[in-house]
Structures are given as C-alpha cells and as structure tokens.
Amino acid sequence: MFELFKSGGLLMWPILACSVVAISIICERMWTLNKRAVTPRNLTEQISTMIERREFDPNKIRIIRESSPLGRILAAGMVNSFHGREVMKDAIEESGRHVVHEMEKYLNSLGTIAAITPLLGLLGTVIGMIKVFSAITAFGVGDPTILAGGISEALITTAAGLSVGIPSLMFYRYFRGRVNALTVDMEQEAIRLVEVMQGEREQVGPARGNLHRVS
C-alpha cells in the first residue's frame, strides 16, 4: 500500500493531509450536531412547568443555558423576558446567531477540502503526463516501462483526489442540511417560549442559516 502511495508522487502528501483533516471534521460534527444534544426533547415543556411552579431562578436558568445550544437560546430569552417583548426577541436572535455560527464551525474547511482535493489530483495528473511526454521526447515510445511511472502517477493522484473530495462534498452538504433543520427546530422552540412568557402568538420567517426575527 505504501508503495502505491509513494508511486503517486509528492502531491499524495497534501491529499493525505486533507483526508485526515476531513475525517476529523466529519467525526467531530457528527458528534456535535446530534439532534438530541442540540435540541433536547421536552426542554420547552420543562421550562413551562418551571415557570408555572415559580421555580424561575438564576441557578436553574444557568443549568438550562449550559445544557445545550437550544438551552442557550431559551435561557437568553428567559433572562430578558421581564424587559418586554422586543428585548426578549432581540436576546433570542442574538443568541441564535452565535449558536448557528458554532454549529457551522469547520464546515467551510470541509467544503474547501471537497473543492481542492480533486484539483490536487488533477494537478498530479498533469505532472504525470508531463513526465510521460518528457520520457517520450528523450527515449521514444519503444520501451513502455519508461512511460509507466508517469502514467501511474497521473492515475493514482487522480483517484486519490476524487476519493477524498467526493465523500467530503457529500458530508459537507449533509451537515449544511442538518444545520438548517436544527435551526428550524430551534426557531419553533423559541416561538413556543415567547408564547408561554408573553402570551401571544409570534410569527417567524423561513430559516436561512440563522434565527430570524420572531415577530
């Protein structure tokens, strides 16, 4: 296997580095963007029960804030609920922007890897073909073994670049979709909290990467 890797030339090293980074990001995001960890079930119901029982104290709000990303958003609304509807909504939106930004962490890096690894493979192909034509110019086409090295390098780097780029692109799209879905869930929970604490139905716009105005 190492001989095959070595025959791909120097560009196999950056491709290998990209693959290690991509795998690390994919594993980390799979763990971080788990639905149960981001939007725990029945959290809003627990908050409603807490408010009804008049257990609305700073210590419990701190526990909610530290429990999950959704908890951060709801806690921001709870802390500012006594300052009126607009202040509460602004606090939810601001906290939501930070939470969504954290959920998108490393995704740009994964998208970059998905874009550059096929190009690195293509560059390896070009370098390999240059070596082939240089060998043809120097020795002619009589001995195929002279051409084999350049052709092998061209094919191996292309295959390696695509093998890293294709899964990286798939997971990049998957995580983008997951972030959007989780954002919608958090918007809905934020609306429910406003209903509970302010007593009126709030409207929300479509999710486009962050929590929108709840008005």
Domain enclosing residue 90, as ranges: 11-118+165-198
In a domain, 126, yes or no: no
- What confidence score (pLDDT) does residue 44 get? 80
Locate 95 and state its tokens. Answer: 């906290």
Give all strands (DSSP E) within 100-214, no chain letters. none
pTM equals: 0.78
139 membership: H or E segment, kind and range: helix 107-139
Lowest mean pLDDT among 16-20, 142-146, 204-208: 204-208
- Kindly state whether residue 208 falls inside one of the protein's structural domains: no
Q: How many domains does the chain fold into?
A: 1
203, part of any domain: no
Report if residue 112 sits inside a domain.
yes
pLDDT range class, residue 212, cuts 50, 70, 90: very low
> Higher-confidence residue: 138 or 162?
162
Note the pLDDT tens digit of each residue in 105-148.
999 999 999 999 999 999 988 887 887 777 667 666 666 666 66
Is 94 inside a domain boundary?
yes
Residue 3 lies in a domain: no
Q: Please indicate, yes or no, if residue 80 is contained in any of the structural domains.
A: yes
CB atoms within 10 A of CB 163: 15
